[in-house]
Amino acid sequence: MSSVNHKDPAVTHDTLFDGELVCLQHKEGYRFSVDSVILAHFIHPDKGDIILDLGTGCGIISLIMGYRWKAILDSITGVEKQSSLVTLAKRNIAMNGFDEFCHVIKGDVKTLFQTVDRQSFSKVICNPPFYQSGTGRINKNREALLARHQISVTLDDFISAAAAAVKNRGATYFIYPAQNLGDLLLLSKKHKLEPKKIMFVYSYPQPAKSAELVLVKCLKNGGSGVEVMAPFYVYKEKNGSYSPEMASYYAR
């Protein structure tokens, strides 16, 4: 990803895929990181998919999905609680010419079905706040704080909303800290989301290094049996360049 100057001093004008995708981000607010890029590439959509992106932020996952898969997708709906990010995501959608199939609405996962219909999506993507209230590094910027910490919403709220929004036998996709995988699996099964694929994300190959993140694909009312996929490495080595897999996620 590259960043260039922009006439709006409050945002950075970032690009992906050799400049083919543009993403405005607030300089002082929430800014996406590699977890969003990895999650967006964990999903392989089917023709005609109707996708929900819960907690869309600046819209980065919807943007990547649109760039990679616009030829086959029916629609992507991004839901975001913070008005400042809703406005930014809408600007990003428009700048990239995705208006016809990509939409952003202001909404709260706790009251999601005031804005969307139950069981109306074939796939739901969710990058929930990673940190429980009072844990992790506290960001002084409120926009970033609410995006990264479970201040007004819990993991259970996100999973419950995803489970109710997706159609029967539809898929949900989550990324979460690997050390909290137990919580993610327990709550998913509580809401009839059966884990089908799990992939651990490591910073770089090293036997003593623990996984940082975990990706989980679930099927609503799916059968038992889960595939633990090969590990994903972000970097080739400590302080090194991106791994070939990670580099491919930024390639045209």
- pLDDT per position as a tens digit, 23-66: 999 988 888 889 999 999 999 999 999 999 999 999 999 999 99
* pLDDT at residue 2 is higher than 80: no
Q: Report yes or no: 72 and 105 within 8 Å, Cβ to Cβ.
A: no
Angle between helices 181-190 and 155-165 (to 10 degrees): 40
Q: For residue 116, give both structure tokens.
A: 């969307």
- CATH number for position 226: 3.40.50.150
* pLDDT at residue 142 is higher than 60: no
Q: Is residue 150 part of a domain?
A: yes
Q: Is residue 21 part of a domain?
A: no
CA 27 – CA 204 distance, rounded (Å): 28
The total number of structural domains in the chain stands at 1
- 73: containing domain: 30-248
CA 204 – CA 211 distance, rounded (Å): 9
Q: Is residue 8 part of a domain?
A: no
Strand partners, 15: 2, 22
Q: Report yes or no: 43 and 123 within 8 Å, Cβ to Cβ.
A: yes
The CB density around residue 240, as the number of other CB atoms within 10 Å, is: 13
pLDDT band at 140 (very low <50, low <70, confident <90, very high): low
- What's the start-to-end Cα distance of the chain, in Å? 11
* pLDDT at residue 5 is higher than 50: no
Q: Is residue 112 part of a domain?
A: yes
Q: Is residue 5 part of a domain?
A: no
Q: What is the pLDDT of residue 206?
A: 82
- What confidence tens digit (pLDDT) does each residue in 154-169 have? 999 999 999 999 999 9
pLDDT band at 139 (very low <50, low <70, confident <90, very high): low
Q: Is residue 7 part of a domain?
A: no
Q: Is residue 240 part of a domain?
A: yes
- What confidence tens digit (pLDDT) does each residue in 172-195 have? 999 999 999 999 999 999 999 999
Pairing of strands 149-150, 232-233: unpaired
Q: Which residues have a Cβ under 8 Å from the Cβ of 93 and sit 6 or more positions away? A: 59, 62, 63, 66, 99, 102, 103, 104
- What confidence tens digit (pLDDT) does each residue in 93-128 have? 999 999 999 999 999 999 999 999 999 999 999 999
- What confidence tens digit (pLDDT) does each residue in 196-219 have? 999 999 999 987 789 999 999 999
pTM of the predicted structure, to 2 decimals: 0.89
CA 37 – CA 67 distance, rounded (Å): 12
Q: What is the pLDDT of residue 147?
A: 45
Q: Is residue 18 part of a domain?
A: no
Q: What is the pLDDT of residue 143?
A: 39
